[in-house]
Amino acid sequence: MPQTSMSIEVKIPAVGESIASGVISVWHKADGETVWAGDVLLTLETDKVSTELTAEKGGVLRILVPQGEEVKIGTVVARIEDAGEAYHATKPPQREQSAATPGPAPVAPAPVSSPALSAAVESMAREAEMESTPPARLVPFVETGESRITRKKMSPLRRKIAAQLVMAQQTAAILTTFNECDMSAVMELRARMQESFTKEHGVKLGFMSFFIKATVRALKAVPAINSRVDGEDLVLNHFYDIGVAVGTERGLIVPVIRDADRKSFAELERDILFFAAKARDGKIKIEDLQGGVFSISNGGVYGSLLSTPILNPPQSGILGLHKIQERPIALNGQVVIRPMMNLALSYDHRVVDGKDAVTFLIEVKKCIEEPMRMLLEA
């Protein structure tokens, strides 16, 4: 059915309370390109989440604000003009479902190895190279014509992260206490149960669900850590919404797993996978990040052996996990090799005493080193 010539405005919608602006990080369609209803037009990046804007109707896209610009909520950034009768007589392109299924990864060609050199030849080659290369302080500076620095604006999310970290340091008395745990029992239990667990629940049993369970038990043992300062009041939380830090290309975000104390290991693993996928696709919502009472950050996935995590305000505690590393320990009067992990608890010393912090870490350590207790209670 022919339509009269008209255009509709593409406006930046309200994407959450307290968010006044965002940056057009990507235009997925070009100026003058024909679009169809439901097509993703742009990605808006705010200080909390990324949001995709889709076309309400089909037509020809006319971009008014270029990519990379910061825009306020309500700003008209494009128009979709009617494309005429020929357009309306054309069927929209089919979205093949099979396209969502990735094909086999291309096989990289095997590297061509050079002939093996004898030790003597290699030594001579190294000496010749050293003789022909002047010391670093004598190498003359050569102007390449390329800029030695790159300056760009921080993204809204990065600015928000920076402000939050500085605010946390300035408003809380942050102290960090350390301990370590032997991962042998968890690793053995996980390996033994992995096949049956995956077959029954459709997800793998990871380490994070064990630490979430251990954290809940430790928070119940030390209620002071499950609290927050609100002005001159101390607010005690009687629920266990645990934030799990997830690294993305845009920065670190902390989606919250609700009512972790009521969930099984399988439910926790599903939640972790769900939020990891949303974070990877840039589809985390504001409500996914709000309301946590405690956070867990796993720097071990990047190889970190020890760190002092910074609080996620207004929370009073954050548990830092680190790389599992085999090292010698004393056990029953003998030196043995065990897979050990360093634990770090940063906490607000205004409301959490050192004794409470130590008790918390010991409870986490006990749960990880005797995991069957948590499984029986799940």
Hey, which bits of the chain come out as E strands? 7-11, 21-27, 34-35, 40-45, 50-54, 59-63, 70-72, 76-81, 174-182, 227-230, 233-236, 242-244, 246-248, 251-253, 256-257, 294-298, 317-321, 325-331, 334-348
What residue has token string 């099984």? 264
- Nearest 5°: phi and psi at 266? -65, -40
Residue 58's SS3 state is: coil
Looking only at the bridges linking them, the beta strands covering 246-248 and 251-253 are antiparallel
The answer to whether 79 and 62 are in contact (CB under 8 A) is: yes
Residue 1's SS3 state is: coil
Contacts of 244 (CB under 8 A, 6+ apart): 208, 212, 254, 255, 256, 257, 272, 275, 295, 296
Does residue 314 have a cis peptide bond before it, meaning omega lies within 30 degrees of 0? Answer: yes
The answer to whether 289 and 256 are in contact (CB under 8 A) is: yes
59 class by beta-carbon count within 10 Å (0-12 exposed, 13-18 middle, 19+ buried) = buried
Contacts of 303 (CB under 8 A, 6+ apart): 323
What residue has token string 């499950």? 226
| Residue 281 is among the residues annotated as catalytic for this protein | no
Residue 282 tokens, joined = 């840039």
375, HSE (Cβ side, Cα atoms, 13 Å): 13
| Residue 353 is among the residues annotated as catalytic for this protein | yes
The answer to whether 282 and 249 are in contact (CB under 8 A) is: no
Q: Cβ atoms within 10 A of the Cβ of 365, count?
A: 18
**Active-site residue, from 39, 238, 353, 356:** 353
Cα(362)–Cα(373) distance, rounded to whole angstroms? 15
Residues acting as catalytic residues: 349, 353
